[in-house]
Amino acid sequence: MYEIVEKKQLAESIYFMNIKAPRVAKAAKPGQFIIAKIDEKGERIPLTICNYDKDKKIITIVFQVVGESTRRMSLLNKGDYFRDFVGPLGVESQFVNEDISCLKNKRILFVAGGVGVAPIYPQVKWLNSKGIKADVIIGAKNKDMLIFENEIKNEVGNLYITTDDGSYGMKGLVTDKINDLVNIKNKEYDLVVAIGPMVMMKFVARLTKKLNIPTVVSLNPIMLDGTGMCGACRVTVGGKVKFACVDGPEFDAHKIDFDEAMKRQSIYKTEEGKKYLKNIEGKTHSGGCGMCGGDK
Partner 1 sequence: MINSKRIPLREQDSKIRVKNFEEVCLGYSKEEALLEANRCLGCKKAKCKEKCPVNIDIPEFVKQIKIGNIEEAAKIIGKSSSLPAICGRVCSQELQCESQCALGLKGEALAIGKLERFVADYMIENNISITYDINKNNKKVAIVGSGPSGLTCAGDLAKFGYDVTIFEALHEAGGVLVYGIPEFRLPKNKIVKREIENVKKLGVKIETNVIVGKTVSIEKLFEEGFQAVFIGSGAGLPKFMGIKGENANGVFSANEFLTRNNLMKGFDENYDTPIKIGKKVAVVGGGNVAMDAARTALRLGAKVSIVYRRSENELPARAEEIYHAKEEGIDFKVLTSPIEIIQDDKGWVKAMKCVKMRLKGADSSGRKRPVEIEGSEFILDVDTVIMSIGTSPNPIITSNTKGLNVSKGQCIVACEETGQTSINGVFAGGDAVTGAATVILAMGAGKKAAKAIDKYLRGNGIK
Residues 224-243 that bind partner 1 (CB under 8 A): 224-225, 227-232, 234-236, 241
Which of 158, 161, 156 is closest to 142 using CA atoms?
A: 161
- Give whichever of 59 and 146 is closer to partner 1, judged by the CB atom: 59
Q: Round to whole Å and give the CA distance between 11 and 19.
A: 19
Least separation, in Å, of the C-beta of 121 and partner 1? 21
124 counts as binding partner 1 under rule CB under 8 A: no
Query: 246 to 275, contacts with partner 1 by CB under 8 A?
Result: 246, 260, 263-264, 266-268, 271-272, 275
Residue 170 CB, shortest distance to partner 1, in Å, is 35
DSSP state at residue 128: H
Q: Are strands 240-243 and 234-237 parallel, antiparallel or unpaired?
A: antiparallel
Is there a contact between 189 and 198 (Cβ–Cβ < 8 Å)? no
What is the nearest approach in angstroms of partner 1 to the Cβ of residue 84? 4
Within 10 angstroms of residue 223's Cβ, the number of other Cβ atoms is 21
Cβ–Cβ < 8 Å for 61, 50: yes
Least gap, CB of 196 to partner 1 (angstroms): 22
Sites for partner 1 among residues 37-66 (CB under 8 A):
37, 41-44
Q: CB-wise, 71 or 187, nearer to partner 1?
A: 71
Kindly state the smallest distance separating residue 155's Cβ from partner 1, in Å: 26
Q: Rounded CA gap, 273 and 156, in Å?
A: 39
Instruction: Phi first, then psi: give them for residue 56, nearest 5 degrees.
Output: -80, -10
Residue of 8, 56, 78, 83 interacting with partner 1 (CB under 8 A): 83
Report which secondary-structure segment, H or E, holds 19.
strand 14-20
| Dihedral over Cα of 53, 54, 55, 57: its sign | positive
The CA-to-CA distance between both ends of the chain, in Å, stands at: 46
Q: Which of 31, 87, 114, 116 binds partner 1 (CB under 8 A)?
A: 87
Least Cβ distance, residue 153 to partner 1 (angstroms): 32
Residues that bind partner 1 (CB under 8 A): 23-24, 27, 37, 41-44, 68-69, 72, 83-89, 224-225, 227-232, 234-236, 241, 246, 260, 263-264, 266-268, 271-272, 275
